[in-house]
A and B are shown apart, each in its own frame.
Chain A
Amino acid sequence: MTDPTAVKIQNLHKSFFNGWGRRSAVIKNLNLEILDNEIFGYLGANGAGKTTTFKLMLGLIFPDKGEIFFKGKPASDYRNRSLLGYLPENPYFYTYLTAGESLDFYASLFDMKRSEKTRRVGEMLELVGLDHAEDLQLRKFSRGMLQRLGIAQALINDPKLLILDEPMSGLDPMGRKDMRDIILRCRDQGKTVIFSSHIISDVEMICDRAGILSKGELQQIIEMDKRLDNNDSIWEIVCQGKPLNLSTDLSTAGEFSGVKHQVAGNRNILSTDNKAFALRMMDEIKHQGFDLISFGSRRKSIEEIYLKSVGTKGKNHG
């Protein structure tokens, strides 16, 4: 029987000694389910506990309490790590190895036949665009090339679940695009991808769902496709003409106290999160003879959701 969840985290706690016999909690009662074949973004500020969660999943550190399952199998059994591929933040490798030797070494830690190993190493080098550097020692690699090798070693065993810690950090725009393409392709191949980031646009662009972590606690899970259905949308009108004065030009201006008004040249940009207001403003603008340029809804960026989520919690703590 296959489990529909790729990862299940139950009541996870982790604290570290911070000297003088005191412990500080890094992960507090974390419960999280990551579905099969989704791209899950793990958002949080530096020090929120993203990397700690990953290290707990990988058995690099041990939880004080709680359990983790991959496809229903306990993560504590090292053999179940054959389902995984992991890219650490700023990955480090043995610098005296060449790219080819390095991948061959990582492949040999799986139960793989020699012919399969050779084939996978070649495929991975090609996938990440390092086939020209196969015989180059890693100490001569640039930061971006190391990141590419990192993704290649994470995919060497054709894993069902990919855990990427800050995969975009340190990459140039081209590299970021390549990384996004690789992640999307993995999803198309049926893999589940979890990646952490503190760069919100990366998460917004490719994730199916995103979890927001703050101070070791999961604040919220955002489903990207459902954001339009709730109150997270912003309506935006752009019109052109003379500079608009909201209080005099629009007869109903008094009602529009919640409207944000920006002027750029001879264009007016009006935005509100109230759809009814927006429609009435449209009528007024036409009535007053302004030239309408655009009208539409914009999803509230998850940056705003993120700040709201982390911010209110922060106040509670403060």
Chain B
Amino acid sequence: MGKITAIALNTFRESIRDRIFYSLLFFAVVLILFSMVLGNLTIGDPLKIVKDFGLGSISIVGTLIAIFVGIGMIYKEMEKRTIFVILSKPLARWQFFIGKYCGLSLTILVEVVVMSILLFVLCFLYVPEIPWTLLYAIIPIFFEILLILAIAFLFSTFSTSFLSGMFTLSIFIIGHFTGDLKAIAQATEDALFQKVSNVIYYVLPNLEYLNFKTRVVHHLNITISEVMLSLTYGILYTVVVLLVGIFIFQRRDIT
């Protein structure tokens, strides 16, 4: 356990000292502040615009950070040859893998917390009460980002940074539309299209399960058990992806 913690803390320190982290965080701050401007310019409830835009920013920026840092997990370590010294120590590869994942998860947690606080403050300026219901959307967003991070890790065990990034981004996009894709397929008569969309629907993650943004913004009823079920789905999927990643990483040559 101590070794995994050491890797995790070192990874966390690396990403905090990395400039990309700050540039994305800066981007998030700008986006959320921009939502204020947008809210004032739009007809209707400006608070809804701020919440909608803010939650969207947390989701997009968090996902981008996850992809950026996740794809470099193995490939960057190999490119920079830092992995040779680490793996020459009495450290199992799965410990390295899990340690790295925990470290980056911690980074993303900090990032989501910082952006959420910012969003809470903004909302408080509009209506002086703490908008706790936003957590119904933010917590699932965090777990969605963790799943994306695991997928980026999986790809980085066998693929270059660029390809891993493209693959992960594709899965993120498709993951939000698998439900729609299946619905469209059902509406058509094409049997092949229906089969393909079924495979995609059942194999790729359905990220819409973790999307409560619209319902939170429009004050629609959300039950805790519903959220818990979604989180369980996200966590199980993440664990499976990580296990496949470890399986590949344990067996590959580090050249």
Contact = CB atoms under 8 A, between A and B. Distances in A.
Q: Select the residue from A58, A84, A94 with max chain B CB neighbours within 10 A.
A: A94
A58 B88 contact: yes
B215 interface: no
A106 B13 contact: no
Contact of B81 (A61, A92, A105, A157): A92
A88 B87 CA distance: 11
Interface string A62-88: 100000000000000011111010101
A86 B88 contact: yes
A61 B254 contact: yes
Interface stretch (B2-10, B28-36, B178-186): B2-10
Interface in B1-51: 2-3, 6-7, 10, 13-14, 17-18
Main secondary structure of the interface of A (DSSP, over half): loop
Interface residues of B, number: 26
B1 to A, nearest CB: 11
A164 to B, nearest CB: 12
A77 B253 CA distance: 16
Nearest to A59: B87
A88 B90 contact: no
Given A78-B90, A78-B91, A106 B255 contact: no
B23 to A, nearest CB: 16
B80 interface: yes
Contacts, number: 81
Interface size class of A (residues with CB under 8 A): 20 to 34
Interface in A77-130: 78-82, 84, 86, 88, 90-94, 96-97, 101, 105-106, 108-111
A268 interface: no
A84 B88 contact: yes
A198 interface: no
A88 B86 CA distance: 11
Given A79-B90, A94-B10, A97-B13, A61 B82 contact: no
Nearest to A82: B90
B84 interface: yes
B76 to A, nearest CB: 11
A109 B253 CA distance: 21
Interface of A: 16, 55, 58-62, 78-82, 84, 86, 88, 90-94, 96-97, 101, 105-106, 108-111, 150, 153, 157
5 closest A-B pairs (Cβ-Cβ)?
A86-B88, A108-B6, A61-B253, A109-B89, A92-B81
